[in-house]
Amino acid sequence: MDYDFDLFVIGGGSGGVRAGRVAAMGGAKVALAEEYRMGGTCVIRGCVPKKLMVYASGYSEAMNDAEGFGWSIGERSFDWSKLMAKQDAELDRLEGLYRKGLSGNDVTIYDARAVLKDGHTVELSTGETFTAKWILVATGGQPFVPNVKGAEHVMTSNDVFHLKDLPKRIMIVGGGYIACEFAGIFNGLGAEVTQFYRGAQILRGFDGEVRGHVADEMIRKGIDLHLGTDVMEIKKQDDGLLVKCTNGSETVVDAVMYATGRVPNTEGMGLEEAGVKLGRRGEIMVDRYSATSCDSVYSVGDVTDRVQLTPVAIREGMAFVETVFNDNPTAMDHEMIATAVFTQPEIGTVGYTEEDARDDFDIEVYRAAFRPMANILAGRDERMLMKLIVEKSTRKVLGCHIVGPAAGEMIQLAGVAVKMGATKEDFDRTVAVHPTAAEELVTMKEPVR
């Protein structure tokens, strides 16, 4: 059978764009449909604009610190509109690069919503229909807001980047990394931040000591964090939004942001009708090669709900091209993925948490907690935390956890060692780089009790 395209990609995020571009570079005839903006969650409404906002929010603390080093800082002010304008220009630039990367490799771009009619047929919102030998679904995810009374008054992380003004008082609901990152961002930009999380501690899934350390520092920085607390109702009134919570308290804020998880973008796409099996949360079920239950349909990225990270989606997209177009079956390795969380303080982590490692191994834990050199003259009490989780019998480092400045930069390189199976003695043999915070990773001699 003759098809219109060898590959039709649905979704213009990191995974879909990379797969489409690389397949086209190899000689495949490729089309890609994206209903919103090229770049997906990461570039348009996620990692990139969020990191820019993290940078912006850090300057308030940096200016305070500067005085401890002899600098006199004059009158300060922050212009939200100026930040947003600069940020929007950068996102436009990046979107342009994504488009150029596709069109420059002869990928046909359709700015439209695409749904499956069957395993080889895609219908666009323009009314056009195309056939393809292979279809790759890479539609990502979207924020989930629970059915709370007054939910029409809340915003999500998608909406933050379109705010006209900086809220003076904001409530953030959630305890995951997105909620905690934005709590730090708004706090650093000068807003009064309240955070509600219904669980016993923020950042579920991370190392327990890391979670407690970050929570304590967030509170120290001025975030009004309430654990074991959830919203019952949100009412609009003249002086803002009245938030009633489960402990009986009432709080008035200018904005309420929900960061209570994300769900896969699969609704109304005709997937199940085309023979693609979905999980209970709507995620596309795939095997280790990203193949779905429909022979001609594959899927990568957040829509599969495996590991929701941009570099993972990119790797999955590359593995898909190797498997389908290069006759080289390749499975993405989802083990020991290093990641950073841009809370304030920042987290870098790779491998097992202490809790999970104790379940599976006989371990030793090495820990260092200290005030970084910069904080001493700055007069700040904030401390860094570093942990190595080591298996006693093999001496392999099973996990590395860092909290503090540049944790994300450090964990990228520590991740190489952990991924390679480095032992504690490999770390010990490495000469320290002095004076740095990172040297603590190779100078921890005795395990904690």
pLDDT over threshold 80, residue 358: yes
Residues above pLDDT 90, as percent of the chain: 98
Is residue 28 in some structural domain?
yes
Of the residues 324, 349, 368, which one is the last residue of a structural domain? Answer: 324
Domain span at 35? 5-142+263-324
Q: How far is CA 152 from CA 3, 168, 196, 236, 349, in A?
A: 44, 20, 18, 10, 36
Q: What is the pLDDT of residue 151?
A: 95
Is residue 422 in some structural domain?
yes
Looking up residue 422, the CATH number of its domain turns out to be 3.30.390.30
**Cα(33)–Cα(125) distance, integer angstroms:** 10
Are 304 and 348 members of one domain?
Answer: no
Of the residues 297, 324, 351, which one is the last residue of a structural domain? Answer: 324
Q: How far is CA 423 from CA 67, 68, 392, 433, in A?
A: 42, 40, 10, 19
pLDDT digits (tens, 9 = 90+) for 30-75: 999 999 999 999 999 999 999 999 999 999 999 999 999 999 998 9
The dihedrals phi and psi of 91, each to the nearest 5 degrees, come to -65, -40
Q: Long-range CB contacts (< 8 A, 24+ apart) of 48-52?
A: 48/90, 48/91, 48/94, 49/87, 49/91, 49/161, 50/157, 50/181, 50/182, 50/185, 50/342, 51/342, 52/83, 52/87, 52/90
Are 422 and 438 members of one domain?
Answer: yes
- Cβ partners under 8 Å of residue 247, min gap 6: 226, 228, 229
pLDDT over threshold 80, residue 449: no
What is the CB neighbour count within 10 angstroms for residue 20?
29
Are 136 and 275 members of one domain?
Answer: yes
Angle at 442 between CA 438 and CA 445, to 5 degrees: 130
Q: Which helix (H) or strand (E) element contains residue 299? A: strand 297-299
Could you give the number of structural domains in the chain? Answer: 3
Are 386 and 437 members of one domain?
Answer: yes
Residue type at position 216: D
Is residue 448 in some structural domain?
no
Residues above pLDDT 70, as percent of the chain: 100
Are 132 and 267 members of one domain?
Answer: yes
The answer to whether 55 and 182 are in contact (CB under 8 A) is no
Looking up residue 40, the CATH number of its domain turns out to be 3.50.50.60
Q: How far is CA 391 from CA 292, 363, 438, in A?
A: 37, 4, 22
- Radius of gyration, CA atoms only, the chain: 24
Q: What is the pLDDT of residue 247?
A: 87
pLDDT digits (tens, 9 = 90+) for 246-274: 989 999 999 999 999 999 999 999 999 99
Residues that are catalytic:
434
Are 93 and 65 members of one domain?
Answer: yes
Q: What is the pLDDT of residue 1?
A: 79
Are 10 and 96 members of one domain?
Answer: yes
Is residue 320 in some structural domain?
yes
**Cα(339)–Cα(351) distance, integer angstroms:** 10
Are 378 and 245 members of one domain?
Answer: no
Are 16 and 114 members of one domain?
Answer: yes
In this structure, the dihedral spanned by the alpha carbons of residues 45, 46, 47 and 49, taken in order and rounded to 10 degrees, is 40
pLDDT digits (tens, 9 = 90+) for 70-98: 999 989 999 999 999 999 999 999 999 99
Is residue 447 in some structural domain?
no
- Sign of the CA dihedral 146, 149, 150, 152? positive
Q: Which helix (H) or strand (E) element contains residue 171? A: strand 169-173
Are 286 and 354 members of one domain?
Answer: no
Q: What average pLDDT does the structure give for the chain?
A: 96
pLDDT digits (tens, 9 = 90+) for 397-413: 999 999 999 999 999 99
Are 255 and 285 members of one domain?
Answer: no
pLDDT over threshold 90, residue 362: yes
Is residue 55 in some structural domain?
yes
Angle at 382 between CA 57 and CA 192, to 5 degrees: 40
Q: What is the pLDDT of residue 305?
A: 86
Residue in 323, 311, 307, 291 with CA at minimum distance from that of residue 137? 291
Is residue 329 in some structural domain?
no
* Both tokens assigned to 66: 């500067």
Q: What is the pLDDT of residue 419?
A: 98
Are 132 and 281 members of one domain?
Answer: yes
Is residue 394 in some structural domain?
yes
What's the rounded mean pLDDT across residues 185-209? 97
